[in-house]
Structures are given as structure tokens and as C-alpha cells.
Structure 1
Amino acid sequence: MFSLWVALVIGIVEGLTEFLPVSSTGHMILVGHMIGFTGEKAETFEVVIQLGAILAVAVIYWKRVLRLFGYNDREARAKPRRINLLHIALAIVPALGLAFVLRDYIKLLFMPETVVIGLVAGGIFMIIGEKRQPTVTVRDMDDLSYRQALFVGIAQCLSLWPGFSRSGSTIAAGMLAGASRAAAADFTFLIAIPVMCAATGYELLKSIGSMTADDLGFLAAGFIVSFVVALIAVATFIKLVGKLSLTYFSYYRFALAAVVLVYMYTAGF
């Protein structure tokens, strides 16, 4: 049985980084290698506990989620045009489809070396999103077109490379499509819910037969820690991502990549 302190550490890392465009998966992989938490079960754990953080988003966005299924509150009636399930499908199907086809190869990328590449490449893409953003035509995610949603969905495929960052790729893509940073961030967090539910469900179905009661308890501990930490952090982080330039997060990513490289060639992973 993995010790509970490992579940605590990884859960905290996930809860703090899921809502920032810095790659929560990349951070979990790096921390996992530092503390000796690697292997197939570690990879499953890292995917499953992300659902805990994503459920924190569902708590914040519960009205938005219900509106997708016909919930008609006062705000929805005042703004008839809003995103629907087709927008969500266009934004998630490309990445989910590609992940299913390449699932066996993606797991091979869960290592520090590939995370460093993803951190740098993702940071560059985010800077491009900031510097090349056209005139903003969408200031609220409810005004996104189907074409813009599909563009975000295609860009989300980049996040299959660990370290690239799902939120970083989709926020930058939304900005390149003409959305404001805040609108792109809102849409990013909303589409994270079905993406992570699908990824977690697949991992559990694939691995449940080989898991023991201790393994399930370990997963549950990480899930709960991730959810609680994320719930505390989510409101602040969502506002931060909506207002702060992606360039600052890119600088952090470059600095982290440099630190990891130094560590790899001195202490060794």
C-alpha cells in the first residue's frame, strides 16, 4: 500500500495546479519521480485524482452545467443565446478520440524528460496566444461560435503531451479564435468536466480488476485531498487566470523546465 502522505502530497499538487496553465499532470509526474512514486498505478492515480479537482469546478459552475441540459434560470432567460451541448462536443471529441487511439503511446510519455519539452512548448504556444490575439469578438463564453469551439477542441489535442497543459492550450486557442482571456478561461474550465470524467472513467474501468482494497483507499484519499484543496483555491485561481497574462505563466514554465533539467543532471531522476 502506498503511504497516505504520498496521496496527500500528490493531491495537494493536483488541487493547486489544475486551474493554472502550468500543467497539473506535468507537476504530478515531476513530484512523483522526486518522491519515488512511479509506475502504472501511479499513472492511474494521477489521472483519477484530477477528477477530484474538476468536481470543484462543477461546484462553481453548477448553473452553467445545468443550463446545458435545459435549466432555464433568470440569467439564461435574459440571454437566450448561449453555448449548448454541441459546443461542448466540438471542444472535447477531438482530444478524447485521439487519446483513445494513442492511449498506449501517451502513457510512455509520463516521464520528466517529456514533461520538460511540454512545459517549454506549451509556454511558447501560450505566448503566441497572447501576442497574436486578434480583435476580441467574444467577451462571454456564451457567445462562442461552433467554429471557435472546434478550434479550441483541436488545440486541446496538444495537451495529450504531458507538460503542455490542457488549460494552457485551450485558453490560448480561445484567445487566438477571438475570445477574451476570461471567456476562454470560463470555457476551458467548463469543458474540463466531461474530459476528466471520461478519462477517469476509462482508467478505472481498465484498472479496477487489478486493484486491491488498499489501492482503492489510496485513490479515495488522493481524490478527497485534491477536491478539498481545489475547492479552496478554485475561485481565486479562476479569477487570476482570467485577468493575468498567459506570458507570466509561460515564464514560470520556462523556469521550472530549467530547474528540472539542472536537477536531472545533478541529482538525477
Structure 2
Amino acid sequence: MSDLLTAILLGIVEGVTEFLPVSSTGHLVLATELLGYDPQRWAVFNIAIQPGAILAIVVLYWRTFMAVLSGLMKGEKHSIAFVRNLLIAFIPAVALGLAFNDQIEALLENAVVVAWALIIGGVAILIVERLAKTRDVGGISGVSVPQSVKIGLVQCMAMIPGVSRSGATIMGAMAFGIDRRTAAEFSFFLALPTLTGATVLQMYKHRDAITANDLQLIGVGALVSFVVALVVVKAFMAVVTKHGFAPFAWYRIAAGSVALLVLAAK
């Protein structure tokens, strides 16, 4: 398979899975392993294309961003609380990401860890969906500081490939009493600083090894992930509103189980 086709395929995987509670990194690791790609070669690519999916959130929620920016300029409390909550939730990932970056990179090459994380995460989603007692908090600005800290800590679990950053933050938020829609949107917006930081760190760390051809492939992958994510996020909110997160939980369990079987047969 050509490098260009590989970049397009991985871009599709990133766009489809980044904001779903199914683990985009886990799927990219499995795609790399199961399709026979060199995992070390594509590891940086898999992280570097994330800004494409991030841009989709900026486009889809541009009115929210403009309202928050306008509110900040006017000193409005709800806009200040909106930004404060996201920054608080972002801090734990920065601290642990910098401290354990090498260990995290090593896990990116372990497809078995990803498969088990998919299964365990699926079971966890089913449990939270059944037991969590949530209430409408009035949006991200209505989330309390303690809840934001807890969401930030839970997000750190996603440093294990297959756990799912969006899944951890959404389910964590619901477990802490936050309504389903706010939990999902908190996860979407928290992705902006988290994934941007991870991309910048990886690009800087591997700057000497990245070629002009690599940059072109990253550009293609990011563009594809952007277009795909635009469609997927809208569909995701529609599914969650009607059916909750259970369909994604069962998908995780099935995907993880199939991956273990295929990996065992290789």
C-alpha cells in the first residue's frame, strides 16, 4: 500500500474515532499493527494529524468560541468559568504527559494493551451508563472546580492507548453528576489544548527525524481527519441523545475481542 493511501486511511480512522468514546489512538495502533505498517514510522504521524480533528470542533462550535471570547472581553462570569474549568482539567495531562512521555510512547506500540483497554473500557461505559446519577449543570461554565479537577485526572487514564480520552472524560464527568450533553461538550473542548499540546510535544521531540515527505503526509492525514470529524461529531451527538453511550460500549467490547483473536492468530 502506498504511503499516500496509508495516510488517507489513517486520517479516516482518526476523524471517525477521535471524539467517539472508542479510542482514536487505540484504533490507529491496531490499524498500524493489523494492516502490517511499521508502527515506529507511523507513531508520530498518528499523533501529528490530530489537529485536523481539533479544527472540526472549532468550525462546528465557532459560535460558542465567539461568545466565550466576547464574554471574556466583557469580564462575564460564565465565560471566565468556561475557560477556567477547561484549563483546570488540562493541567493534570500536562504534568503527567511531560513526566511519563517515554513510557507512553512505548505503550503506543503494544496492540495487545489496546485490545484489552477497549474491552475493559466498554464494560466501564455500560456500568456508568446504568449507575450514574446526573443532573443538568447548565453547560461547561456550570461545572464546579472540584468536578473539573476530577475530569482532568480521569483524562490522564487515556494515556494508556485504547482507554479513549473522550470516553474517559465523558464517563468521568457523568460519574461526577454532570449531564450527558455537557459531559460530551466538555470532552470536545478539552481536546483542543490536550491534543494540541501532545502534537506540539511529539513534533518537537522528533523534529530531526521528520522529513518534507512526512510533513506532506501529515497534511493529507490532518485534512482527511478534519472532513471526516465534521460529519462524525454531528452524528455522534444525535446517537447519544437518542441511545446514550451503550452502542459505543458494545462496539468497544466487540472490536477489542476481535483484535485479540486476530493478534493471537498472527
The match for 1:81 among 74, 78, 81 is 78
Distance, in Å, in 1 between the alignment partners of 2:114 and 2:19 is 18
Distance, in Å, in 1 between the alignment partners of 2:241 and 2:187 is 11
Partner of 1:17: 17
Q: Which amino acid aligns with 1:93?
A: I
Q: Percent identity?
A: 36
Change in CA separation of 1:235 and 1:55 when aligned onto 2, cut-off 3 Å: same
What is the CA-CA distance between 1:107 and the residue it aligns to?
Answer: 1.2
Change in CA separation of 1:54 and 1:243 when aligned onto 2, cut-off 3 Å: farther
Coordinate RMSD, CA, aligned: 2.2
For residues 77-226 of structure 1, what are the structure 2 equivalents within 5 Å?
A: 81-82=78-79, 83-110=81-108, 111-226=110-225
What is the CA-CA distance between 1:251 and the residue it aligns to?
Answer: 1.1
What is the CA-CA distance between 1:8 and the residue it aligns to?
Answer: 0.7
What is the CA-CA distance between 1:67 and the residue it aligns to?
Answer: 4.2
8 A Cα contact 1:118 1:162, kept in partner: yes
How big is each residue's C-alpha offset from its partner over 1:98-150, in whole Å with a ceiling of 9 and x where there is no partner?
A: 11111100111122101012112222322232122124252522311111111
Partner of 2:42: 42
Distance, in Å, in 2 between the alignment partners of 1:237 and 1:48 is 23
8 A Cα contact 1:133 1:176, kept in partner: yes
Partner of 2:55: 55
For structure 1, list consecutive stretches of 5 or more residues without a partner in the other structure: none
Distance, in Å, in 2 between the alignment partners of 1:119 and 1:37 is 21
Distance, in Å, in 1 between the alignment partners of 2:134 and 2:209 is 52
Distance, in Å, in 2 between the alignment partners of 1:191 and 1:10 is 23
What is the CA-CA distance between 1:42 and the residue it aligns to?
Answer: 1.0
Distance, in Å, in 2 between the alignment partners of 1:151 and 1:144 is 11
Q: Which amino acid aligns with 2:187?
A: T
For structure 2, list consecutive stretches of 5 or more residues without a partner in the other structure: none
Q: Which amino acid aligns with 2:83?
A: L
Q: Which amino acid aligns with 1:62?
A: W
> Which TM-score applies when normalising by structure 2?
0.91
Partner of 2:32: 32
What is the CA-CA distance between 1:179 and the residue it aligns to?
Answer: 0.9
Q: Which amino acid aligns with 1:81?
A: H
Q: Which amino acid aligns with 1:31?
A: A
> Which TM-score applies when normalising by structure 1?
0.90
Change in CA separation of 1:236 and 1:25 when aligned onto 2, cut-off 3 Å: same
8 A Cα contact 2:34 2:263, kept in partner: no
Number of residue pairs matched? 263
SS at structure 2 position matched to 1:252: helix
